Amino acid sequence: MSRRLVSSLARVAVLGSVAIGVSGCIGEEIRHGYQIDQAALATVKPGMSAEQVLQILGTPSTVSTVGNKSWYYISQNTRRTVMFLGEQVEDQKVTAVYFNQGMRVERIALYGLQDGRVFDFIERKTPASGADRAFLSQLFRGLTRYEPFGSGAGSSIVPGARAGQ
């Protein structure tokens, strides 16, 4: 084989390997939450009991905090154009089932992305205690307060400091 042919085959192999590797970084479509079946939703009618709705639609994503009279089925479709980068919300649907006093379906409402704000399924922040104080403030507070047994009395090792300060 000629040297030129081997060089060409090597280049093609390297380019093929790079193309296969890069194709794995192309984005994806991600579905979060309850993907509602439109045929099942059509069977839910006003006057049905909560148990019947539970059998047809399944467990809701969340319920109202007061009285448990509203059930919400939340779904969100996002797209990531390049792997490992942020997602953009393409579609969001909230199906709300409202119940009356006797826990019978009163009405069903469908809300989309145009009806409200984007619901964050996964908040990428972890709340931490002490975030409201600066680091140096916490450090000096720790130096002026000594509680070896966690008594809460706040006995100080600094002369002249008031207790509990």
Q: Which residue has the higher pLDDT, 140 or 151?
A: 140
Closest CA to 80 of 4, 26, 150, 10: 26
Task: Provide the pLDDT confidence category of residue 54 given band limits of 50, 70 and 90.
Answer: very high
Q: In whole angstroms, give the CA distance from residue 139 to residue 160.
A: 19
Instruction: Output the pLDDT for position 20.
Output: 73
Q: How far is CA 67 from CA 17, 63, 100, 103, 147, in A?
A: 59, 9, 10, 10, 45
All domains in the chain, ordered by first residue = 27-123 (3.30.1450.10)
DSSP-assigned letter for residue 84: T
Closest CA to 112 of 94, 88, 96, 97: 94
Q: How far is CA 123 from CA 98, 120, 126, 129, in A?
A: 27, 6, 8, 17
Give me the count of residues in the chain: 165
Whole-number average pLDDT of the chain: 75
Amino acid at 62: T
| Whole-prediction pTM | 0.54
DSSP-assigned letter for residue 65: S
Q: Are strands 62-63 and 88-99 parallel, antiparallel or unpaired?
A: unpaired
**pLDDT tens, residue by residue, 65-84:** 777 688 999 888 888 877 77
Closest CA to 158 of 6, 150, 146, 148: 146
Is 159 exposed, middle or buried (CB count within 10 Å of its CB: 0-12, 13-18, 19+)? exposed
Q: Which residue has the higher pLDDT, 138 or 29?
A: 29
